[in-house]
Amino acid sequence: MAKYNETETTAAINLIGTGTEITGDVNSNGDIRVDGALNGNLKTAGKVVIGETGRVSGEIDCKNSEVLGEVHGKIKVSELLSLKATAKIFGDIITKKLAIEPGSKFTGNCKMGNESQQNARTEEPKFGTKEQKSA
């Protein structure tokens, strides 16, 4: 039996095409592909693909990302960041998982893993004192 009362929400796929230049911040719940230029921050709950002709100057915050083009700014990816051979990154990377193809260029700092793991690593280890038994 078919269910007609349920509303199905599908995430939109947004495209910034070749030759298009956007200045300003972009926020979305769906996936975004950039083949043009974005001068501003990009935040989405979905996946970001920066095509070979794509260029982003600003911060990127997303779930997954695949970069073939150029990014000038910090990239924060909660799951997987994939840098293809044509990728050029000028900025810091924060991600859970990172895949880098030979030929890609990256200038900046990189932090990997869960945030809770990163915070635990930055804290100084605490050693307890134990009384030693003399024999």
- pLDDT at residue number 119: 47
- pLDDT at residue number 12: 73
The 3-state DSSP class for residue 39 equals strand
- The closest of 70, 121, 75 to 94, measured between CA atoms, is 75
Rounded to whole angstroms, the Cα distance separating 78 from 82 reads: 12
- pLDDT at residue number 10: 55
pLDDT by residue for the chain (135 residues), tens only, comes to 455 544 444 557 899 999 999 999 999 999 999 999 999 999 999 999 999 999 999 999 999 999 999 999 999 999 999 999 999 999 999 999 999 999 999 999 999 987 544 444 444 445 554 554 544
- pLDDT at residue number 13: 83
